[in-house]
Homo-oligomer: A and B are copies of this chain.
Amino acid sequence: MEINSPKTLIVVAHPHIADSTTQQFLQAAVHQTSAIWHHIDGLNSLDVQQERQLLAAADRIIFQFPLYWYAAPASLKKWQEQVLSTNFIQQQLAHKQLGLVVTTGLPQKAFQTGGSASFTLDQLLAPFYAFGQQAQMQCLPKFAIYQFSYLTERQQQQLFMDYQRYLTQPSPDNLLNRSNWYLNYLQQHPQLPQQALLIDYLTQQILALDNLQTTWNLIKEAEDDRLDI
């Protein structure tokens, strides 16, 4: 079964990307997908029209950055100030999806009242959610990566897949979409061990979900008929 992935643009802001193992890890994950990796600090000069075309062509726009002083790097802010305008965002970005991939050297527990960051990550990201609201975009839940360097190999593998799913899985993030995404992933990665078993399992699960949906629709129709009498 083919999934109908969104066209995803990742606007990556990181002033020292060559030194960032996290960003290199994420870039490797992106290269296995159809998503576009667009590193803005690397641009020699900013072509506003070209940036706007990239944005207009995407279904899902993701801002990806490390948290510096509890906010996005200056380079992303500068890009926003140069590329975006109220007219442009309302005419071209409305109804697209907005995602945020945020990396931080702080642990997850720092982001709470009484924690070392004092605020939740969502609270600190309020300027982006306000932007999404103004542009009438659909804000996706953020994708946060805490203390990448402390992750075990197993956790890194999970992150690699979860990140790819964040980039390419159709929304909403429900059981059917997730199952279809995993099935598609397995079919495209035949080197994975236990692949056949997993594919069988997922195919059965998806059929069960489809049956459930059909049953549910029949119940609803019957109910609607009853109410029409």
**Interface set of A (CB-CB < 8 Å, partner B):** 15, 68-75, 77-78, 80-81, 84, 116-119, 123-124, 126-131, 133-134
- Bound form: Cα–Cα A77–B77 in Å: 8
- Bound form: Cα–Cα A27–B119 in Å: 33
Q: Is the CB of B127 within 8 A of A124?
A: yes
Knowing A116-B134, A133-B118, A134-B116, the reply to whether A127 touches B74 (Cβ < 8 A) is: no
- Listed by A's residue number, 30 A-B pairs whose Cβ atoms lie within 8 Å are A68-B81, A69-B80, A69-B84, A69-B127, A69-B131, A70-B126, A70-B127, A70-B128, A71-B71, A71-B127, A72-B77, A73-B77, A73-B81, A74-B78, A74-B80, A74-B81, A116-B134, A117-B130, A117-B133, A118-B129, A118-B133, A118-B134, A119-B126, A119-B129, A119-B130, A123-B126, A124-B126, A124-B127, A124-B130, A126-B126
Shortest CB-to-CB span from A80 to chain B, Å, is 5
Q: Is the CB of A69 within 8 A of B74?
A: no
Q: Is the CB of B71 within 8 A of A77?
A: yes
Shortest CB-to-CB span from A170 to chain B, Å, is 26
